[in-house]
Chains A and B, each alone.
Chain A
Amino acid sequence: MSEAVVAPAEQVPAGANRSVGPGRLALRRLRKNKIGIFFGILFLIIVILCLLAPVYASHVAHQGPLDGTITGTVYGKDIVNQYSTGIGPTWHSRYLLGADSLGRDVAVRLLYGGRNSLEIGALATIITIVGATILGVCAGFFRGWVDTIISRILDIIWAYPALLLAIALGVSLAVTGVNIGPWHIAGTSNLVPSAIIGVVYIPYVARPIRGEVLTLREREYVDAARILGYNRFSIIVREILPNLFSTLLVFVALQLAQSIILEASLSFLGAGVQPPNPSWGTMLADGSSQIEVAPHLVLVPGIMLVVAVVSVNVFGDALRQAFDPRARIRVER
């Protein structure tokens, strides 16, 4: 909202009811959504647990995520048996959730894998939101040839299924890494899958942003800013972006869930996090070949992945309902 429009509101007589801002209204609605809050807290707990992975590894499990004991025993049993299968859950501090075929503690790898999965998901989401916002705002605000060029580029990326495009990029970049001028990012770096996931999802977010900007640029307060002589950059920063905030906030939550799923898919297929580094996707891949004799290797990361994604999705939906009541009405009808 422009200063010119805000100014009269500040002249409300003392004692009159002050209007409540959209943000505060949204928070009120969000607090009423008990299910959304529950899943938001659940996701927060997962994040905290994953952040505490080093503490668990050093003080409870006494084993790092890449360390394995293939020939040893724990609580009187072989950690890895004669068929190269890891021990199941011990429900004790060591190998709480069992071991994989390399004698690595599944619980430790689960937490470290969660760190990688969440880190990549968060980085990818930032890349998607920032990239999509820049492109969507430019396309929607400037229209004309700028819109044409940006939209066609987005169309080209959109023409490829996100997973296939990500696999193609992931496989090639996992081997060579990324070389940008003097900078080199190793293929094993989490930045590689983060960048890939972030880029392939840009069209999916940039298009709706463009559409919303096309609407926003015709609003009266934007016309007023133009009349007051603000340049286009100022109008975008002071009028357009603040009004996009609630939309972007909803996209952040939903995109985080999408990014975590795509990371898991890529890692499962060998195009994301590179072994032996753990992620929930690589753990699923490692365990898939032994699903009959060691189902815990698949169940543990699989359940964690589902819980994390459902949590973010439900919380994201709650955010959407809170910030976009019209959408809620539509849903209720």
Chain B
Amino acid sequence: MRLKYLVAGAAAAALTVSLAACGGGSNGSNGSTGGNGGGGGNATSTGGSSNDKPGGTLKLEGSVFPDSLDPDFGYTTQAQEADTMVYIPLLTYAEQQGTAGTQLIPGAAESLPQVSSDGLTYTLTLRKGLKFSDGSPVVASDFTLAVERSVRLPWGGASFLTGYIKGAADYADKKASSISGITTDNSTGKITIQLTQKYGAFPNVLAFVQTAPIPANTPFKVLSNTPPLGDGPYKFGKIVANQSYVLQKNPNYVQIPGISAGYVDEIDMTVQSNPDTEAQDVINNTADVFDPADTITGSALATVQQDTSRYAKIPSATTYYFFMDVTQKPFNNQDVREAVNMALDRPALSKLSGGSLTPGAFFLPPTIAGHTDGGYPWQSNVNASPSAATIAKAKNMVKAAGLANYPVTVWSQTKQPRQNYDTEYTRVLNEIGLKATLKVVADATYFQQIGNANNHAQTGFADWSQDFPNPSDFYLLLDARSIQPVNNENFGNVNDAHIQQQLKALEPIPATQLSSAAPKWQALDKYVAQKAYVAVFGYETLPKFFSDRVDFNKAIVNPVDYLLFNTVELTQ
């Protein structure tokens, strides 16, 4: 999932979060958070503390509106946070923080899938009695429709479906009128999915909201302002494009074990384009939630950090990087890409984040199998600024490549500190002899614009937070199969035969055996670093920051689904 933000879950996340959120007390948020499902997803809401008052309106501010609230099209963290409340896919994640939150539990399906011995056939049964928010019943074929819409609109992660489900690619290319690999029986709720190749993380694919059932009459067009009905604990209320949306409790929500029905009656999200003002609003209790996708810097940070009862840093499997389109000059030249990676001042970029970003250079972030510490080929120490000699060497490489003063447009979001990251990046490109200028575009459409082939985006900011704890999720961004004309997530258009070969060999490995495959993923990550396909500059942590109206310890920032609004309870 687009990374923007997020939370993620790392192995050390649970402990760190507990310590940070609770000041070292015994009321750890991991494992036994009130009102949330325990292991196995069988727990249900149990109510809050004596001070908590069910109901009320939760005011959320964020600097960026979701790219789309249509579950089959949106792919940013902001979209994920909202859609997770409205749409429950066949499988979902435990309402937990830390690594416990990456555990798959049955969602709209009665149980986890039965997988054939060859790993190519998945069988599930739809949970009985599920209803959409208008009271109409959910049927098995509604899952098929969701998959069909996701590959046709198309969703940015469509290759997770077209790459593995039999017939999905033909359907996407309009060579078929249906997806042959999916069969459903509405009378029994049975759903059978046939794959073209083994994919160890396929159960995680079934936990994407993009595969959650939607009503049969949903049209095949992007419905950002009037999203389809869902089966989750909340439903969409009024939506004002790029400004605000409202989530209201779904009166027809059928309780699913492990998925809380929610405490607050309404969630009002409003765009506050200045993250500093956003933070001040939460400090002053005029807003309840600071979007975990945003970064607190400057004047607010010093104040916020002092109040550990309202603020914590959440470890996150999130990589921040600059993409470079390898099909365009000057980045089709490996020497230029190497020069960029040599000259990038990673500690400076970390400082611009106010300390939320840890300098790094390898693509896979910490906590994801295959991450590498140290040994980066283009900088011996990513925690130190490059020396003058290194800059001079990088400049010579660009000059030797015959690309000195070659014009480069750096695409940037408006929001801070991301615009500052790009400004610093632009400075570096100019420093090594390129002729770089900054192009700042609206936050809400940024990723759609750089993912549109017609815009020919040369380079710019990008990030990625885990959709699920598997390196193959990150390699969507470097997978040639994910290149598409619109909503392209492979911004650099990387198409490398060695990467494709390795992905083919590594993807079938089940999630339970990831640790044994870590060295191979690590080798692949080192190969990507050697080729300098991207310029990674760090790994982000996320802010969990609320007003004093919110029960801080109960609210869950899940490593996959981010802030779970249905776990947020007001105390006044």
Provided the pairs A84-B417, A102-B423, A270-B440 are in contact, do residues A290 and B298 lie with their beta carbons within 8 angstroms?
yes
Partner of B414, one of A188, A270, A288: A270
Contact: B424 with A68, CB < 8 Å? yes
Size of the B side of the interface (Cβ < 8 Å), in residues, is 33
User: Does B225 sit at the interface, judged by CB under 8 A?
Assistant: no
User: What's the nearest-Cβ distance from chain B to residue A216, in Å?
Assistant: 47
A112 to chain B, nearest CB (A): 15
Among B81-89, B148-156, B348-356, which stretch is in contact with chain A? B348-356
Closest-CB distance, A156 to chain B (whole angstroms): 28
Q: Which residues of chain A have C-beta atoms less than 8 A from B416's C-beta?
A: 289
Tell me, yes or no, whether A101 is within 8 Å of chain B by CB: yes
- Interface flags for A76-114 (1: CB within 8 Å of B; 0: not) read 000010111100000000000000011100000000000
- On chain A, the residues within 8 Å of B297 by CB distance are 83-84, 101
Task: Give the complex CA separation of A290 and B416 in angstroms.
Answer: 11
Q: Assess whether B345 is in contact with A289, with CB atoms less than 8 Å apart.
A: no
Q: How far is the CA of A274 from the CA of B419 in the complex (A)?
A: 12
Q: Does any Cβ of B come within 8 Å of A293's Cβ?
A: yes
Is there contact, CB below 8 Å, between B276 and A276? Answer: no
Interface size class of A (residues with CB under 8 A): 20 to 34
Is B441 interfacial (CB 8 A cutoff)? yes
Q: Which of A188, A275, A292 has the most CB of B within 10 A?
A: A275
CB distance from A78 to the nearest CB of B (A): 9
Are the CB atoms of B299 and A293 closer together than 8 Å?
A: yes
- What's the least CB distance linking B103 to chain A, in Å? 36
A66 interface residue, CB < 8 Å from B? yes
The reply to whether B424 and A102 form a contact with Cβ atoms under 8 Å apart is: yes
Give the contacts of A222-264 with B (CB-CB under 8 A). none
B-side contacts of A289, CB under 8 Å: 274-277, 298-299, 416
CA distance A333 to B348 in the complex (A): 63
Question: Quick one: which of B350-370 are within 8 Å of A by CB?
Answer: 351-355
With A70-B345, A102-B424, A175-B441: A82-B298 Cβ-Cβ less than 8 Å: no
With both chains docked as a complex, state the minimum distance between the C-beta of B427 and any C-beta of chain A, in angstroms: 6
Please determine whether B354 and A84 come into contact, CB atoms closer than 8 angstroms.
yes
CA distance A275 to B427 in the complex (A): 12
- A84 near B424: Cβ-Cβ < 8 Å: no
Chain B contacts for A102, CB-based, 8 A: 352, 420, 423-424, 427
Given A71-B345, A83-B354, A188-B437, decide whether A275 and B419 contact each other with a Cβ distance below 8 A: yes
In the assembled complex, which residues on chain A have CB atoms less than 8 Å from the CB atom of B426? Answer: 66, 276
Q: Is A67 engaged at the interface, CB distance under 8 Å to the other chain?
A: yes
- Using A71-B345, A175-B441 as known contacts, say yes or no to A290 and B423 having CB atoms under 8 A apart: no
B438 cross-chain contacts in A, Cβ below 8 A: 188, 274-276
The reply to whether B274 and A70 form a contact with Cβ atoms under 8 Å apart is no
User: Which residues of A lie under 8 Å from residue B276 when comparing CB positions?
Assistant: 289-290
Instruction: Tell me the interface secondary structure of chain B in the complex.
Output: helix
In the bound complex, CA of A239 to CA of B209 (Å) = 75
A292 to B301, CA, bound (A): 12
Of the candidates A175, A276, A293, which one forms a contact with B298 in the assembled complex, judged by CB atoms under 8 Å apart? A293
The digit string for A207-231, where 1 denotes a CB below 8 A from any CB of B, is 0000000000000000000000000
Query: Contact: A290 with B419, CB < 8 Å?
Result: no
Query: 1/0 contact trace for B410-447 toward A, CB 8 Å?
Result: 00001011011001101100100000011111000000
Chain B residues numbered 91-120 whose CB sits less than 8 Å from any CB in chain A? none
- Closest residue of chain B to A187 (Cβ to Cβ) is B439
Complex Cα–Cα for A223 and B355 (A): 77
User: What 1/0 flags go to A173-211 for Cβ under 8 Å of B?
Assistant: 001000000000011100000000000000000000000
Interchain CA distance A52-B42 in the complex, whole Å: 72
Among B301, B352, B441, the residue within 8 A (CB) of A70 is B352
Q: A283-297: contact bitstring with B at CB < 8 Å (1 yes, 0 no)?
A: 000001111111000
Q: In chain A between 127 and 186, which residues have their CB closer than 8 angstroms to a CB of chain B?
A: 175, 186
Pick the contact of B352: A67, A84, A291, A294 (CB < 8 A).
A84
Interface residues of B in 440-470 (CB under 8 A from A): 440-441
CB of A70 within 8 A of CB of B354, answer no
**Given A83-B298, A290-B276, A275 and B352 contact (CB-CB distance below 8 Å):** no
- Is residue B347 within 8 Å, beta carbon to beta carbon, of the partner chain? yes
Instruction: Annotate A280-314 by CB proximity to B: 1 below 8 A, 0 otherwise.
Output: 00000000111111100000000000000000000
CA distance in complex: A288, B299 (Å): 11
B299 contacts A82, C-beta separation under 8 Å: no
A71 touching B299, Cβ below 8 Å: no
A136 to chain B, nearest CB (A): 37
Q: When the two chains form their complex, are residues B427 and A82 in contact, meaning their CB atoms are under 8 A apart?
A: no
B348 touches A71 (CB 8 A): yes
> B385: CB under 8 A from chain A?
yes
**Is B298 in contact with A71, judged by CB distance below 8 angstroms?**
no
User: How far apart are B466's CB and chain A's nearest CB, in angstroms?
Assistant: 26
Q: How far is the CB of B419 from chain A (nearest CB, A)?
A: 7
Q: Is the CB–CB distance between A82 and B355 below 8 Å?
A: yes
- Inside 8 A of A291's CB, which chain B residues have their CB? 299
CB-nearest residue of chain A to B295: A84
Distance between B139 CB and nearest chain A CB, rounded to angstroms = 45
Which chain A residues lie closer than 8 Å to B424 at the CB level? Answer: 68, 70, 102
Across chains A and B, which 4 residue pairs bring their CB atoms closest together, nearest first? A70-B348, A292-B299, A293-B299, A289-B276
* 16 A–B contacts from the bound complex (CB under 8 Å): A66-B430, A68-B427, A80-B351, A83-B299, A84-B352, A101-B420, A102-B352, A175-B439, A188-B438, A270-B440, A274-B438, A274-B439, A274-B440, A275-B438, A293-B299, A293-B302
Interface residues of A (CB under 8 A from B): 66-68, 70-71, 80, 82-85, 101-103, 175, 186-188, 270, 274-276, 288-294
- Using A274-B439, A276-B423, A289-B274 as known contacts, list a sample of 11 further A-B pairs with CB atoms less than 8 Å apart, ordered by residue number in A: A71-B385, A83-B355, A101-B417, A101-B420, A102-B420, A102-B423, A187-B439, A274-B440, A275-B423, A276-B426, A289-B416
